[in-house]
Structure 1
Amino acid sequence: MRQSRILLINILLTGAFYVAGFVALGDSYPTIESSGEEIVDWLSANGTSARLYAWTAAFFSLGLAIFGGQISTLLPHPHRYIFLAGVLGFAITAQVQAWFWAGLAFHPEGLDPAVARTLFGMATYWGPLVNGSTTAMAVAVGALGFGASPIIPRWLTWISAIFFVEQALETITIFGQTGFIAPGGSMNIYLGGLIGFLWVAGVVRWAISRMNESA
């Protein structure tokens, strides 16, 4: 099977696991604004959903690792190392925050609300902190669009620049407490997720062309 086809299949499956994880949680899952009692009540009623979310995170991280390995081979030094470090940072962050969800849901009936809120808050901060990894991914690719002999097309350079700026601005959710800029809130999940999906689609499109040319 061609590398380009493997890349396409892998990224589609990876995206599917990412979306499936949030679908599993439903629309009533707790947020950074939830009280300890609300978190414990949700975990008591939705333990299976939390564990399913953690299960999808494992395969999401696997897909990211494959994606990172394939794309990095197309990049020159040191860009490939910066890109791969960003991808692995993203994958590890996804695993860590997912095991908090699964761990909290294992025996929620005896969980102290204050402890639950503290541990859940730690997991929720994956949103702003993963931006350190995503900005590394974006800058590693975007920088290839500059200079006398750019490697990537101008449209991908612009998408990478937009993705980098948005993700860098998204770090302000570290200081947010409620609403759009709360950690793990709409800015992290929806705005960042949408732009991230568009950027990944652009990278995959460019990579498939490069792979097919080499083949």
Structure 2
Amino acid sequence: MLKLSKTNKTAQSFFYLGLCILSWGLIPVVTKNILVELNNLQMLFYSTIFSCMVMGGIILFQKKISLLTTYSIHDYTKVGVLGFLGTYVYYVLLYGALALTSASEGFILAYTWPMLVIILAFPLLKERPTVKKLCSIFISFLGIVVIVTHGSIFTLSFTSLQGDMLALGGAGVFALFSVLGKKYQYDQVVSVFIYFVTALVFITPTLFLFSSLKMPSFHV
């Protein structure tokens, strides 16, 4: 088997990176279109089922299913809490935000979570604040204000204040999920599977309590 040269490997890496960015950029557009027909709870229910099937197939293919028997109840509790935050609460808020505000605005605000990770890392991970980190937080905060007000900082013009708050709330939840996840060292693939199973456990009763089961059409 021929080995790829360093140049080919670099080109291949950039190709996959570009493909990843393109796919990631389609998420808010596709989500917005689906939310025309389904509400945020219905969409999360179906996307979670699909995610469980995909991740279940991956751990079977990678022969990691046996790892599930090695985890204790305490392990499942810790991973389950992360799943509750990162794949249930976060997506309820994100999809709710995208249903109310524009796709670009909601997604950009939801992805302010790296800034919030820095803030939460101070008390939770005992990381020391530095001038560089504080400056990045300040610049990010200004960016949020500009995005939310569409540049009209003094007139406070919002597309949907409720949608923006849901997106920022989702960012906070995902930041907490990310910070807490740094404390644990579990197999990443198996952990993601447990995350989505946890989300399915919570979204199922939530759907029937606060919404209803609706089959998506082929137009979605």
TM band (smaller chain): 0.3 to 0.5
**Greater relative contact order: 1 or 2 (C-alpha under 8 angstroms, separation 6 or more)?**
2
Normalization by structure 1: what TM-score? 0.33
Based on CA coordinates, which of the two structures has the bigger radius of gyration? Answer: 2
From the two aligned structures, give the one with the greater helix fraction. 1
